[in-house]
Amino acid sequence: DAKTTQPPSMDCAEGRAANLPCNHSTISGNEYVYWYRQIHSQGPQYIIHGLKNNETNEMASLIITEDRKSSTLILPHATLRDTAVYYCIVPYSGAGSYQLTFGKGTKLSVIP
């Protein structure tokens, strides 16, 4: 499965945009990029996913480079409740199923 690389930690001022980068240089043409986050003591929460085009939903925007080797998750106006560990994942798919391998993610701290 395609490996992802993320910085271990980042800080962001409350109300500012948080830009979380992810490298996935071995991604293949039909593999999606998924983003999840985990707030302390809770299960991971799905945020957004994309293939080639940029995507936006009520939680975040996802910018994927043209060569698809990296992506950026954007939280447009970070709040204290966005403090969490953010995971960038490229699922392994095969035999009619798929599995996500979670790395260590990026710990985002939103600072008042």
Structure tokens at 34: 């998924």
Q: In this structure, are residues 93 and 29 in contact, taking their beta carbons and an 8 Å threshold?
A: no
91 is an interface residue for another protein by CB under 8 A: yes
- Report the C-alpha gap between 5 and 16 in whole angstroms: 24
State the DSSP H helix or E strand holding residue 46, giving kind and residue range, or none if neither: strand 45-50
95 is an interface residue for another protein by CB under 8 A: yes
- Report the C-alpha gap between 28 and 25 in whole angstroms: 9
Among 26, 54, 57, 102, binds another protein (CB under 8 A): 102
Q: Which residue has the tokens 């993610």?
A: 105
Residue whose CB is less far from another protein, 14 or 32: 32
7 is an interface residue for another protein by CB under 8 A: no
Q: What is the DSSP letter of 80?
A: G
Q: How far is the CB of 93 from another protein (least distance, A)?
A: 5
Among 7, 9, 11, 46, binds another protein (CB under 8 A): 46
Which residues here bind another protein, judged by CB under 8 A? 32, 34, 36, 41-46, 49, 51, 87, 91, 93, 95-105
